[in-house]
């Protein structure tokens, strides 16, 4: 029996680009089929019925028809528009970053139920106003878990000893996490890590979203953890997401503006 020509799925648009005169190619994340490419025909015409509803960073219910190269979007229903996360450039940039991370780490047509749930939850809490940096770190830590590259933050990556509260730590992405003060490190890819940053990394591993949102942390410690996770993921995934450049730019502009105001 041939596969049914039409099917319906929940989906989040990860990225899109214009194609031909009026079409658009979408990269979608779906729970059961993982990442898929689909085409929305005629979507850039003003008369298109589905035009405005195929925005990125929204949860949609789609009807699709199997196609030769791309599946074809036939119907769209918006389940969660998550409109607020678009109001602010840093929050928007963070949503783009999370979409890019999901896009780059998922293979086409491989079920991605847990990554789908993770991305959906990430957009929910971003939309609800949680600090974008906290959402991004929470997402990175859990995505690393899903990818089987969870960073080691409890034991030394070399000798396996439980890390004490009163020693010097080093963050070594090529070794997969934290190195204790007794072990010799590799010549490259080593950065000092403060106790506060180590505690925050552990918090991202263990705490739920509500507890993380309520944490009070110094900005320099947040910056340290951000740099640590960025270096870790860049090493593990062998890539630096393009969306980070945009995010860095809008945050620098934010900082410059607040310095003028104070
Ligand atoms: Zn050690």
pTM: 0.93
262 confidence band (pLDDT: 50, 70, 90):
low
240 confidence band (pLDDT: 50, 70, 90):
confident
Look at the chain and count its residues. Answer: 262
What pLDDT sits at residue 55? 87
Task: Output the CA 186–ligand 1 centroid distance in Å.
Answer: 12
Strand, helix or coil at 56?
coil
Task: Output the CA 135–ligand 1 centroid distance in Å.
Answer: 31
Strand 34-40 to 71-80 pairing: parallel
Compute the CA torsion angle 58, 29, 100, 240 (nearest 10 deg).
160
> 21: how many CB neighbours lie within 10 A of its CB?
8
The closest of 235, 39, 30, 213 to 124, measured between CA atoms, is 213
Place of tokens 């403060």: 194
Q: Token pair for residue 113?
A: 């139920």
Task: Output the CA 150–ligand 1 centroid distance in Å.
Answer: 18
Q: For a pLDDT cut of 70, what percent of the chain falls above it?
A: 98
Task: Output the CA 196–ligand 1 centroid distance in Å.
Answer: 19
CA-to-CA distance for 33 and 107, rounded, in angstroms?
10
CA-to-CA distance for 180 and 157, rounded, in angstroms?
8
Task: Output the CA 184–ligand 1 centroid distance in Å.
Answer: 8
**Section 57-82 average pLDDT:** 94
Answer yes or no: are the C-beta atoms of 54 and 41 closer than 8 Å: no
pLDDT in tens, 129-182: 999 999 999 999 999 999 999 999 999 999 999 999 999 999 999 999 999 999
Task: Output the CA 2–ligand 1 centroid distance in Å.
Answer: 58
């Amino acid at each position: 029996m041939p596969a049914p020509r039409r099917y319906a799925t929940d989906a989040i648009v990860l990225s899109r680009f214009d194609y031909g005169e009026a079409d658009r190619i979408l990269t979608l994340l779906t729970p059961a089929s993982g990442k898929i490419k689909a085409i929305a025909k005629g979507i850039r015409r003003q008369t298109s019925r589905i035009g405005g509803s195929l925005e990125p960073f929204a949860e949609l219910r789609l009807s699709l028809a199997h196609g030769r190269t791309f599946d074809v979007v036939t119907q769209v229903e918006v389940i969660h528009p998550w409109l607020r996360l678009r109001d602010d450039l840093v929050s928007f940039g963070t949503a783009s970053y999370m979409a890019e991370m999901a896009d780059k780490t998922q293979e086409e047509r491989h079920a991605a139920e847990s990554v789908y749930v993770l991305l959906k939850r990430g957009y929910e809490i971003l939309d609800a106003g949680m600090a974008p940096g906290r959402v991004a770190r929470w997402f990175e830590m859990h995505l690393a878990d899903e990818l089987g590259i969870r960073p080691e933050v409890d034991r030394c990556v070399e000798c396996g000893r439980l890390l004490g509260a009163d020693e010097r730590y080093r963050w070594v992405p090529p070794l997969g996490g934290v190195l204790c003060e007794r072990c010799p490190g590799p010549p490259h890819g080593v950065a000092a890590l403060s106790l506060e940053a180590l505690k925050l990394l552990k918090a991202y591993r263990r705490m739920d979203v509500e507890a993380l949102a309520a944490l009070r942390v110094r900005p320099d410690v947040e910056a340290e953890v951000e740099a640590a996770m960025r270096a870790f993921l860049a090493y593990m995934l062998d890539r630096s997401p393009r969306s980070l450049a945009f995010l860095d730019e809008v945050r620098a502009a934010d900082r410059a503006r607040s310095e003028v105001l104070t």
